[in-house]
C-alpha cells in the first residue's frame, strides 16, 4: 500500500530541464534572458545583506507592492507577490479549485497547468488550438464556461503568438476565473499593462507576471498576481505567510523600479527575434510571428528531432517539443532568443545541418 495520495502516486516524477552545469554551451532551451539584470539589483541585494537576515521578511511585501501598483496604475491591494509565478499558479489552484472541478487551458501550451490540476485532484480539459494557433471558438466557449479556472498564457508558449484581449474576454468562465499568464507580456510589440482588469469583467480575471524573463531574474524566483482586491484577499489566505524572502524582495523591487533597463533589453531581444524569424524562414522553416523571447518553428520535412540532436552535438541546446493531438502529432523546435551572437550560431548550425 502506498502512503501517497492516489494522484501523487500515479504522477510522473519531475524531470528537470536540461541545465548543463559546465560552460561552453549555447543555451537556448529555457527562455532565459541573455542579458544581466539591472545593476540596481545587485546594489539592493548588497544593501539588504547589510541589514538583518535573522529577522523575518515583511509578510506584506509593502515596498514591492507599492512599486508594482504604481507600474500598473492600481492600488497595492491589487498585488500578490510569490516565489516565482509558478507559486502564484499553485496558489490560484488551491484558492479556487476543489477536487473533480474542471480546470482548462489551451493546448499546446504551458504543461505545468495540467500537473498542478492533477495535484489538486481536478479534472483537466485541454482546448486544442487550431493549426494556426487560433481558438476553436465553439469548443473553447463550451469548455471555458464550465471551468473553475481557465489558464491562458498570453502570449502563448510554445507558439509565441498573442491573442487579442477581446478573444479572451469572451472566454471568462461562468462561475470561475480567467487566469492570464503574462510571463512573456513585456516582449510584445505593444506590451500589456493589465488594461483588461479595468474592463467590465475584470473582477473575474487574474493576471500573473514573472521577473524571470524580461527582468533577467530567473535565479531569484519572483512573480506576482494582479487582480481585484476581493480575489487577492482569498489568495492571500492560501499563501505561506513569508513566501518571499528579504533578498529576493529587495532584488525584485529594484528591478521593477528600473524600467529603462528592462525595456532596453526587451527591445534588443525583439530586434534579435525578428532577425531570427527571417533567418529561419530563409532556411525553409515556418516560424510563428512571435511576441515573446522564443520562436516556435517547424520544417516541412518534419525532421525536428534530428536537428535537435545535431544541434546538441554541437553544444547548442534548443527545446524539441512533441504534442499528441486529437489526430496525429505536432512537433517542432522552440528556440530561445539569446544574444545576436548566440542566435547567429544556431542559424549557422541549422544551415550546416540542413
Shortest Cβ 5–a second copy spacing (Å): 5
Query: In this complex, which beta carbon is closest to a second copy, that of residue 45 or of residue 283?
Result: 45
Query: In this complex, which beta carbon is closest to a second copy, that of residue 56 or of residue 271?
Result: 56
Instruction: Supply the Cα-derived Rg of the chain in whole angstroms.
Output: 20
Shortest Cβ 35–a second copy spacing (Å): 7
Query: In this complex, which beta carbon is closest to a second copy, that of residue 67 or of residue 220?
Result: 220
* Rounded Cα–Cα distance for residues 227 and 277 (Å): 34
DSSP track, 320-332: EEEEE-SSSEEEE
Shortest Cβ 34–a second copy spacing (Å): 7
Query: In this complex, which beta carbon is closest to a second copy, that of residue 97 or of residue 316?
Result: 97
Shortest Cβ 349–a second copy spacing (Å): 22
Q: Are strands 286-287 and 294-298 parallel, antiparallel or unpaired?
A: antiparallel
Other beta carbons less than 10 A from residue 13's beta carbon: 4
* Rounded Cα–Cα distance for residues 150 and 125 (Å): 9
Shortest Cβ 252–a second copy spacing (Å): 11
Query: In this complex, which beta carbon is closest to a second copy, that of residue 199 or of residue 325?
Result: 199
Query: In this complex, which beta carbon is closest to a second copy, that of residue 211 or of residue 350?
Result: 211
Other beta carbons less than 10 A from residue 55's beta carbon: 8
Query: In this complex, which beta carbon is closest to a second copy, that of residue 193 or of residue 236?
Result: 236
Centroid of chain to Cα 327: 27
Q: Are strands 205-210 and 223-227 parallel, antiparallel or unpaired?
A: antiparallel
Other beta carbons less than 10 A from residue 146's beta carbon: 16
Query: In this complex, which beta carbon is closest to a second copy, that of residue 159 or of residue 246?
Result: 246
Please check whether residue 314 is in contact with residue 302, taking contact to mean a CB–CB distance below 8 angstroms.
no
Shortest Cβ 210–a second copy spacing (Å): 11
Please check whether residue 297 is in contact with residue 340, taking contact to mean a CB–CB distance below 8 angstroms.
no
Q: Can you tell me whether residue 78 is helix, strand or coil?
A: helix
Angle at 265 between CA 262 and CA 267, to 5 degrees: 105
Shortest Cβ 194–a second copy spacing (Å): 19
Q: What are phi and psi of 105, to 5 degrees?
A: -165, 155
Centroid of chain to Cα 348: 28
Beta strands in 228-288 (DSSP E): 286-287
Shortest Cβ 207–a second copy spacing (Å): 16
Residue 179 per-residue DSSP state: E
Query: In this complex, which beta carbon is closest to a second copy, that of residue 240 or of residue 305?
Result: 240
Shortest Cβ 316–a second copy spacing (Å): 16
User: Within 13 Å, how many C-alpha atoms sit on residue 101's CB side?
Assistant: 21
Residues 6+ apart with CB under 8 A from 16: none
Amino acid at each position: 500500500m502506498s502512503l501517497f495520495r492516489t494522484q501523487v502516486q500515479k504522477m510522473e516524477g519531475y524531470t528537470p530541464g536540461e541545465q548543463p552545469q559546465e560552460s561552453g554551451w549555447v543555451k537556448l532551451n529555457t527562455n532565459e534572458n541573455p542579458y544581466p539584470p539591472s545593476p540596481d539589483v545587485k546594489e539592493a541585494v548588497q544593501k539588504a545583506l547589510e541589514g538583518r537576515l535573522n529577522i523575518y521578511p515583511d509578510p506584506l511585501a509593502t515596498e514591492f507592492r507599492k512599486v508594482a501598483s504604481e507600474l500598473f496604475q492600481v492600488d497595492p491591494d491589487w498585488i500578490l507577490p510569490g516565489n516565482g509565478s509558478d507559486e502564484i499558479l499553485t496558489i490560484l489552484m488551491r484558492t479556487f479549485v476543489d477536487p473533480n472541478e474542471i480546470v482548462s487551458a489551451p493546448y499546446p501550451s504551458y504543461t505545468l497547468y495540467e500537473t498542478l490540476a492533477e495535484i489538486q485532484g481536478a479534472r483537466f480539459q485541454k482546448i486544442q488550438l487550431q493549426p494556426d494557433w487560433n481558438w476553436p471558438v465553439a469548443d473553447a466557449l463550451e469548455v471555458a464556461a464550465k471551468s473553475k479556472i481557465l489558464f491562458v498564457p498570453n502570449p502563448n508558449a510554445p507558439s509565441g503568438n498573442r491573442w487579442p484581449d477581446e478573444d479572451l474576454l469572451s472566454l471568462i468562465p461562468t462561475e470561475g476565473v480567467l487566469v492570464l499568464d503574462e510571463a512573456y507580456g513585456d516582449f510584445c510589440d505593444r506590451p500589456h499593462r493589465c488594461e483588461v482588469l479595468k474592463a467590465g469583467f475584470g473582477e473575474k480575471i487574474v493576471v500573473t507576471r514573472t521577473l524571470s524573463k524580461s527582468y533577467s531574474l530567473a535565479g531569484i524566483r519572483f512573480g506576482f498576481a494582479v487582480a481585484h482586491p476581493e480575489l487577492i484577499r482569498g489568495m492571500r489566505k492560501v499563501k505561506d505567510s513569508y513566501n518571499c524572502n528579504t533578498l529576493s524582495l529587495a532584488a525584485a523591487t529594484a528591478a521593477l523600479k528600473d524600467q529603462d533597463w528592462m525595456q532596453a533589453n526587451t527591445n534588443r531581444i525583439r530586434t534579435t527575434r525578428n532577425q531570427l524569424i527571417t533567418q529561419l524562414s530563409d532556411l525553409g522553416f515556418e516560424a510563428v510571428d512571435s511576441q515573446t523571447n522564443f520562436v516556435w518553428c517547424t520544417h516541412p520535412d518534419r525532421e525536428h528531432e534530428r536537428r535537435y540532436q545535431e544541434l546538441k552535438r554541437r553544444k547548442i541546446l534548443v527545446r524539441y517539443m512533441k504534442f499528441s493531438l486529437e489526430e496525429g502529432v505536432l512537433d517542432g523546435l522552440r528556440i530561445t532568443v539569446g544574444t545576436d551572437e548566440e542566435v547567429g550560431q544556431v542559424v549557422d548550425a541549422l544551415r550546416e545541418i540542413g
